[in-house]
Amino acid sequence: MFKSLFCFVILAGVSIISEGQGVPAALNAITFSLHDVRLTDGPFKHAQDLNEKWLQEIDPDRLLIGCTTEAGLNPKGTKMMFGDTYRKGVPFSKDPHVIRFKGRFLMYYSVPGYTDQAGVVHGWGVGIAESNDLVNWTRIGEVNTDPEATYEAKGIAAPCALVVKNKVHLFYQTYGNGTKDAICHAWSSDGISFTRNKTNPVFSPDGDWNCGRAIDAEVIPFKGKYYLYYATRDPNFEIQMQGVAVASGRTNFDKQDWTNLSKDFPMLKPELPWERDCIEAASIINKNGELFMFYAGANNNAPQQIGVAKSSDGVNWTRLFDQPFLANGKPGEWNSSESGHPHIYANPKGDDYLFFQGNNDNGKTWFLSNVKISWENGRPAIGE
């Protein structure tokens, strides 16, 4: 009906104009199917062909990424794609860390600051999602704030979760305090509601080589001790580097328990061209007594990419590859701006997974994804 009416109006207009002189003309309207219309060679046909070619080149999954993420679906060809839209209305999740706890997977991640409808400003926070398969994730809330934790007033971010004696121990950084940002600790019996450590912040580094700041905590048990890996900057706040601290295996993770092993120099600093001026976000897995560190090289969207180093003592590290182990995506792909801030999940009942953050718009949105990791001749490889 509408197509016929459209044709009627066009023909009527043509008929009136053809009469000229503004004299009303008789309307000799006919109807016909638009399938009978053919656009022959010319500028309009050329424009139509260009539009068709452009539309066919667009990846539909890229266009629908916001819709599929909001619906809890994953784009074709991607094992996992998660973006928390609660705070900003667009997918924005960074710094993933995954554990298995009480029959489900829990993922902790950073969410951005925002101003709510009442005009209250909220700093960065830590979101929580759950999954049964490491692929499909559902947001279940955020780590609770603590009004007495004034050191967190500007926000918290970059979580690391560790299950010890049926409790989740969360290590995270304060946010927005420059050289004063430090590592904090909290614990939970359900993985959702957390009690702060009374000695918070529990760690910031000493030493002339760094600025005193500590972010991006990673805590692992190794050889009867706990190792805390952190990122910090040089005194000029220009170069991001890695350090490590240690505590007894009987620690309560209190401030006085940690000893900085990187007092005189960094554990790892940028050296390869693709690392530029930043190494951060160390995530470590123990494979048969040897440690493998997945780390982020270069700053966000530089692009940030992921490298791998190896150690037998947790302190001295050797890079396994000169090029990124996991690079950013090609132009047009969802992670073309970066593949960064890794978390290696050691799966006791199956494949290991490397979680990471990425985007293709220079940080306007942030998604979390993962890839399977296989092990070949004592080295990691990206699985199918």
Q: Are strands 318-319 and 338-345 parallel, antiparallel or unpaired?
A: unpaired
Does residue 31 contact residue 7 with C-beta atoms inside 8 Å? yes
Does residue 338 contact residue 301 with C-beta atoms inside 8 Å? yes
Does residue 108 contact residue 159 with C-beta atoms inside 8 Å? yes
Please give the structure tokens belonging to residue 317: 């590290």
Q: What is the pTM of this model?
A: 0.81
Pairwise CA distance, residues 316 & 264, whole Å:
14
Report the pLDDT value the prediction gives residue 82, as an integer from 0 to 100: 97
Report the pLDDT value the prediction gives residue 12, as an integer from 0 to 100: 39
Does residue 98 contact residue 106 with C-beta atoms inside 8 Å? yes
Report the pLDDT value the prediction gives residue 375, as an integer from 0 to 100: 94
Q: In what side-by-side order are the strands of the sheet with 318-319?
A: 279-287, 290-297, 305-311, 318-319
Q: How far is CA 206 from CA 217, 238, 331, 374, in A?
A: 16, 17, 42, 38
Kindly tell me if the per-residue pLDDT of 384 is higher than 80. no
Instruction: Mention every residue, 6+ apart, whose C-beta is less than 8 A from residue 41.
Output: none
Report the pLDDT value the prediction gives residue 34, as an integer from 0 to 100: 76
Kindly tell me if the per-residue pLDDT of 62 is higher than 50. yes
Kindly tell me if the per-residue pLDDT of 81 is higher than 80. yes
Q: What is the largest CA-CA distance in the chain?
A: 99
Does residue 243 contact residue 210 with C-beta atoms inside 8 Å? yes
Report the pLDDT value the prediction gives residue 68, as an integer from 0 to 100: 56
Binned at pLDDT 50, 70 and 90, residue 284 comes out as very high
Report the pLDDT value the prediction gives residue 63, as an integer from 0 to 100: 58
Binned at pLDDT 50, 70 and 90, residue 16 comes out as very low
Predicted confidence (pLDDT) per residue in 330-382, tens digit: 999 999 999 999 999 999 877 899 999 999 999 999 999 999 999 999 999 99
Q: What is the mean pLDDT of the chain?
A: 89
Mean of the pLDDT values across residues 198-210? Answer: 98
**Is pLDDT larger for residue 1 or for residue 348?**
348
DSSP letter for 203, please.
B
Kindly tell me if the per-residue pLDDT of 239 is higher than 90. yes
Kindly tell me if the per-residue pLDDT of 156 is higher than 50. yes
Q: Name the 3-class secondary structure at 92.
A: strand
Binned at pLDDT 50, 70 and 90, residue 78 comes out as low
Q: Which of these ranges, 31-45, 294-308, 367-381, has the smallest mean pLDDT?
A: 31-45
- Within 13 A of 308's CA, how many CA atoms are on the CB side? 19
Kindly tell me if the per-residue pLDDT of 57 is higher than 70. no
Q: How far is CA 89 from CA 69, 84, 116, 129, 188, in A?
A: 12, 8, 12, 17, 29
Report the pLDDT value the prediction gives residue 270, as an integer from 0 to 100: 98
List the beta strands (DSSP E) in 211-311: 215-222, 225-233, 240-248, 259-260, 279-287, 290-297, 305-311
| Three-state secondary structure of 245-263 | EEEECCCCCCHHHCEECCC
CA 25 to chain centre: 66
Pairwise CA distance, residues 65 & 314, whole Å:
39
Predicted confidence (pLDDT) per residue in 122-151, tens digit: 999 999 999 999 999 999 999 999 999 999
Q: What percent of the chain has pLDDT over 70?
A: 87
- The CATH code for residues 84-382 is 2.115.10.20
Long-range contacts of 326-331 (CB under 8 A, 24+ apart): 326/354, 326/356, 326/371, 326/382, 327/303, 328/303, 328/304, 328/358, 329/358, 329/360
Kindly tell me if the per-residue pLDDT of 21 is higher than 70. no
Kindly tell me if the per-residue pLDDT of 76 is higher than 70. no
Mean of the pLDDT values across residues 308-324? Answer: 98
Q: Name the 3-class secondary structure at 36.
A: helix
Q: Of 54, 27, 67, 137, whose CA–CA distance to 332 is shortest? A: 54
Please give the structure tokens belonging to residue 30: 């006919």
Report the pLDDT value the prediction gives residue 13, as an integer from 0 to 100: 41
| Concatenated DSSP letters of 106-166 | EEEEEE--EE-TTS-EE-BEEEEEEESSSSS-EEEEEPPP-TT-GGGTTBEEEEEEEEETT
Mean of the pLDDT values across residues 282-306? Answer: 97
Report the pLDDT value the prediction gives residue 353, as an integer from 0 to 100: 97
Please give the structure tokens belonging to residue 312: 């037998």
